[in-house]
């Protein structure tokens, strides 16, 4: 019985696991909103995951230091593992 309980808890935990990605977009004044790219969330400490840290990460990865963060936004996407 104890083994069954542990297995059930493990399966329940595994079902809750989600892959988290951030889709980055840029608002081009002429072309409008453009998809730029996707970054996977890898941080294990949720306290480190803030809107500001995600924007800074996307800015460094896709736009460079001269980009205006007012024109950058992201969408959080969660997907279940296959």
Query: Which pLDDT does position 64 carry in this prediction?
Result: 84
Total Cβ atoms within 10 A of residue 22: 20
Query: Which pLDDT does position 15 carry in this prediction?
Result: 52
Environment class of 67 (CB within 10 Å of its CB; exposed 0-12, middle 13-18, buried 19+)? middle
The model's pLDDT over 9-59, given as tens digits with 9 standing for 90+, comes to 444 444 567 899 999 999 988 999 999 999 999 988 888 899 999 999 999
Which two three-digit tokens encode residue 51? 């809107």
What does the domain layout of the chain look like in residue ranges?
18-79
Is the pTM above the cut of 0.75? no
């Amino acid at each position: 019985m104890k083994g069954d309980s542990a297995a059930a808890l493990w399966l329940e935990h595994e079902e809750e696991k989600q892959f988290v990605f951030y889709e980055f977009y840029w608002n081009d004044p002429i072309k409008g909103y453009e998809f730029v790219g996707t970054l996977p969330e890898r941080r294990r400490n949720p306290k480190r995951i803030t809107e500001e840290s995600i924007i800074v990460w996307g800015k460094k990865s896709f736009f460079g230091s001269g980009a205006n963060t007012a024109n950058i936004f992201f969408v959080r996407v969660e997907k279940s593992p296959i």
